[in-house]
């Protein structure tokens, strides 16, 4: 659970526009990240996968999951691909590993919406 909290610190960003919801984009990224961290990297037990995704989405949304996202699907896909290619050490946020650069502040939305 602690790892998910560290992860979302890097994912959260806010600006303004039209598109899918912030929650939908956060869900895509956290599903990819948490599944990889659990299945391939064994960073936490499989029974914590759902908690990882839920806490990550909540933090990534920053209390505004219904906001219109500005990030493009291509930006989200690029982040998810980078997660798939990253070393397990990179994904271990508790050990100080940074997320791939393409994932930092990738989810952006209209402020205050």
Q: What is the pLDDT of residue 96?
A: 72
Residue 64 CB burial class (10 angstroms; 0-12, 13-18, ≥19) = middle
Q: What is the pLDDT of residue 42?
A: 93
Quick check: is 108 in a domain? no
Other C-beta atoms lying within 10 Å of the C-beta of residue 95: 12
95 within domain boundaries: yes
Total Cβ atoms within 10 A of residue 59? 19
The answer to whether residue 72 is domain-embedded is yes
In this structure, of 3-7, 50-54, 56-60, 82-86, the range with the lowest mean pLDDT score is 3-7
Taking 70 as the threshold, does the pLDDT of residue 87 lie above it?
yes
Does a structural domain hold residue 36? Answer: yes
Residue 90 lies in a domain: yes
What pLDDT, in 10s, does the model give residues 6-43? Answer: 344 334 443 344 569 999 999 999 999 999 999 999 99
Chain mean pLDDT for the chain: 82
Residue 37 lies in a domain: yes
37: domain range? 2-9+19-103
- Whether 109 is in a domain gets the answer no
Residue 1 clears pLDDT 60, i.e. is over it: no
The number of folded domains in the chain is 1
Instruction: With respect to residue 41, please indicate whether it lies within any of the assigned structural domains.
Output: yes
């Amino acid at each position: 659970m602690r790892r998910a909290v560290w992860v979302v610190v890097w994912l959260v960003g806010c600006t303004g526009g039209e598109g899918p919801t912030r929650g939908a984009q956060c869900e895509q990224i956290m599903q990819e990240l948490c599944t990889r961290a659990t299945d391939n990297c064994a960073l936490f037990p499989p029974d914590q996968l759902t908690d990882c995704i839920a806490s990550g989405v909540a933090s990534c949304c920053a209390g505004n999951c219904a906001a219109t996202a500005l990030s493009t699907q291509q930006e989200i896909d690029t982040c998810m691909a980078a997660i798939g290619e990253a070393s397990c050490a990179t994904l271990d946020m508790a050990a100080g590993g940074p997320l791939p650069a393409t994932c930092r502040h990738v989810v952006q939305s209209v402020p205050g919406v």
